[in-house]
Chain A
Amino acid sequence: MGKFIVIGERIHCISPVINKAMQERDPEPILKRAREQIETGAAYLDVNIGPSEKGGEELMKWAVTTIQQACDNVPLCLDTSNRKAIEAGISVYNRSKGKPIVNSADAGDRIENIDLAAANDAIVLALCSKAGISSDNDERMGYCQELLERGMGLGMDTEDIWFDPLFLVVKGMQDKQMEVLSFIKDLSDMGLNSTGGLSNISNMMPKHIRPIMDSAMVAMAMYCGLTSAIANPADLRLMETIRSCDVIKNNTLYADSYLEI
């Protein structure tokens, strides 16, 4: 098993600074966040340009080339509901450090993003849901099978489909947490890769609590076999937990400086 993969979540158009930089094509604020995330341990960077129905293709191309050229071709996760923008991004993407990730497909309206990934030799994040949150693990597994079969039918390697169980907010859905973990275990038992927006679980909690809750969740999820997460690598406690779990799982060989590398 390789090391746990952190997809840095901080290049997101919901942030006013990033949104402004994207609109004005100002590279610096975006590159600053890109460099910080690489420095703190992100293996991939998520690039969320929002729905971007107008001008999304051109924006995604600009974002991909700007970030990759400045950051030694860091691999990227192309995050938008605009399919053409993802395709445009892939057309200028440099694969020397890793395949692009299509973020994301689901078993509903976005199922064709599997086809897009297959046609472009990309990785795809596959949400185990159709419309809204799945009610139980049987439903999640049904969608998982559907997405898996579609990808395999198009000739994808199963390791290029990263299944997202959908992490659920603790405040309000506390009783569902163990179910999500159990689903991650099922994916792991099937030899499948998994990922997800980890910090969902701590939504609406006080700011100082969130790293603690996220760290506990990532440790339990890694024990169940989670292979990746979309997370904030600037969260030191979270990253220390992930690196420690990587050592305990023998995903990486221990050295005294393991927290620094």
Chain B
Amino acid sequence: MPFKPVPQKFNAKINSLTVGTGDRTATLGGESSYPFYGFDAPIENRPKIGVEISDIGADNSLPGIAEYYKGCSTLPELAKRASEMPGADFLAISLDGAHPDNGDRSVEDTTALVKEAAAAVDIPIVIEGCRNIEKDAKLFEKIAEALDGRNVLFLSAREENYKSVSAAAAMAYSQKIGAESAVDINLAKQLNVLISQMGVKTESVAMNLGSAAAGYGFEYVATTFDRVKSAALAQNDNMLQMPIVTPVASETWTVKESIVSEADFPEWGPAEERGVNMEIATASACLAAGSNAVILRHPESVAAVSKLIAELI
């Protein structure tokens, strides 16, 4: 008997969210099928890749990174180089140096630095903050103002600071915001409800559902993403139809497999290769589970993951 495909059709779709302006924009989401299920319905926008740089400079302890960013000493130079990386769809600027425990650079100085970096590139920009709740709220407010008109995505608004992030970034300057929860499906939905109750359009919101490096409880990440996508599509839940953005690099470049030296673990082989493999494995798993964008660091990972996406779509 011949095989007769029956497409799985949904009367619902993931919201489209565009970051950036002008000729270079990145649109996330828009599909009405499960991840990579192009045989069910056309995938409107392929998943996107962000290249992460830090305001405290590139990690030159990794030869591949040092080589790629050779000659770049300032954030604008790093930004320019990262924006030229093959496979890069957007730039993700991590503001590590503004964290109170990591230099505590002032809001004003950090804003000026980011503004300068943004002026050096035309690629869409995601601002990742310093991951300190109070400082991020202040930083996002000033940076949203400084980058008015650039249509930037801020990661992230959390349970503790969503009010100020929503009001400052999304409402005052029409920027995009990501709602962050740490692999907590009910909180993910609740944050989206709270943000929309403030008056932020759901189309301006992305979700950072959290992640884990492959092997570090990733099953829980996968089931969370699955449940979110099925609520969004099969149950037409408009409080979960936001595209998913997943910072992968920050998870994978801190685990043992990526950082212990070859001298200490000779049987594990070169550290950088391991780190790249962790980044690729985790990013691929996130994409298969439903991420509409992943944020990576290493040029080799970006090359491999963009090839994977191109060949699957």
In the complex the two chains form, is A255's CB within 8 Å of B231's CB?
no
Shortest beta-carbon contacts, A-B, top 5 = A255-B189, A255-B190, A257-B193, A253-B231, A256-B190
B231 close to A252 (CB less than 8 A) = yes
- As a 0/1 sequence over residues 174 to 191 of chain B, the CB contacts with chain A under 8 angstroms (1 = contact) are 000000000001110110
| Docked pose: A1 CA to B234 CA in angstroms | 8
Nearest-CB residue, chain A, relative to B196: A261
The complex places the Cα of A124 from the Cα of B147 at a distance, in Å, of: 53
> Of all chain B residues, which has the CB nearest A1?
B235
> How far in angstroms is the closest Cβ of chain A from B235?
6
> Using Cβ atoms and an 8 Å threshold, which residues of chain A touch B193?
255, 257, 260-261
- In the bound complex, do residue B227 and residue A253 qualify as a contact, i.e. CB atoms below 8 Å apart? yes
- A256/B235 in contact, CB under 8 A: no
- Interface residues contributed by chain A, number (CB under 8 Å): 12
Interface contact B186-A261, CB-CB below 8 Å: no
6 additional A-B pairs beyond A251-B235, A255-B186, beta carbons within 8 Å, are A3-B235, A252-B237, A253-B186, A253-B228, A255-B190, A257-B193
Q: Is the CB of A256 within 8 A of B186?
A: yes
B42 to chain A, nearest CB (A): 21
Which of chain B's residues 201-238 have a Cβ closer than 8 Å to chain A?
227-228, 231, 234-237
Find chain B residues with CB under 8 A from A55 CB. none
Q: Which of B186, B187, B234 has the most CB of A within 10 A?
A: B186
CA distance A257 to B193 in the complex (A): 7
Taking each of A2, A3, A261, which has the highest tally of chain B beta carbons within 10 Å of its own beta carbon? A261
Known contacts A252-B235, A252-B237: A257-B186 contact under CB 8 Å = no
Please state if A257 and B235 are interface contacts (CB–CB under 8 Å).
no
By beta carbon, the residue of chain A nearest B194 is A257
Most chain B C-beta atoms within 10 Å of own C-beta, residue among A1, A3, A255, A261: A255
